[in-house]
Structure 1
Amino acid sequence: MFQHLVENLPRRVEVVIASKFQNFHKEQHNFLKPNDDRALVLMTCSARSVMEDLDDIISYGQSDEFSFVFKRTSGSKGEPGNNIHSQFSSSYPLYPPGFDGWVVLYPSNRNLRDYLSWRQADCHVNNLYNTVFWTLVQKADSPLHRTLAADKNEILFSQFDINYNNEPLVHRKGTVLIWEKLEETVTKSVKLPNEEEEQKPAQW
């Protein structure tokens, strides 16, 4: 379906085909945080593999996605772009993640530059946040090494005013589901014959 979409794009427009990792966290790649240079280099090599087979194409990658930009000059099925998404995803070896692909059209070079500038700005904003976040996580993790339960309780109470014993029981102890037999008393109405002699009218 993706190939059919690419083959039927309008002519004479700037075309961006983007590929983004999907569900890669479900595989045991042991990525480093906030950035894993091994994964970034591998993703770049995958993009380079795509560019080696195509002319007049540029690509931009950041985080878990790569955008491939080429100028579409005709509507023929031989145009580049038909296999960009599949070739890029197949270049990622050993327990490959899923890839989500989409096509974006831009009417001018200026719009295209705006798109690339936006992706680069997004890269900066996300990376700055993630760098600070994971630095704080790693820094916070260090004081916890070789601490006892009493030490952890003291940290929560003295620094964050949290009494761990007041935390919800389901958080501290989990949930247990068991089968239990219960005795039930059932009351119901039944039809029984009346064995008492019926009262007959006086004239009988």
Structure 2
Amino acid sequence: MNKKYNDYKNPFRLLWDFRSELLPKYIVVLWLIIGVILVILSGFKLINLSSLDIKEYVSISVSGLNFALIITSAALAVYNKDELTLLLELDFSKHKSRVPGAYFLEILAPYALTLILFLILGLSSVILPLITLTPPLIIRIIVNIIYIEIIILGILSLFNLAYTILIELYYKVQRDSNRR
């Protein structure tokens, strides 16, 4: 790759630089509303978050990673190499991030977010059950709420990627149709 482009070997840097492009606002709002509802229901003892067994969610994280990989492959079918190269080489000075290759990286950032969410879920599903220390109930409830919120955000992020691919496929077919 040309030296004028940033090297995004650290996925967290990519997420930070393109944080405003990770998820549509309606998904963030939906995620926050679900989180608030969970906390309220837990506070009124209508749901029992302390009984959540994190080790049961290993399969969710593996499935999420697999699905994210499938969606990434589907995205590559929607964008051909020439289109991706064009996005990489577009004049980035007008992009709000002013990062070389910004338009291309803007497409990659939501995929990185989804992969990282399911990586966190997978690692915590394996590591947390190994901890023999029993924290106070409030800490267990807070950890469980955070864990459930990461699962929900991961699922919403997968939905966003799948929906984005469908929309991009629609636009691609429309462009190809207009060329004829």
Larger RCO of the pair (alpha carbons < 8 Å, separation 6+): 2
Normalization by structure 2: what TM-score? 0.28
Structure with the larger helix share? 2
**Rg larger in structure:** 1
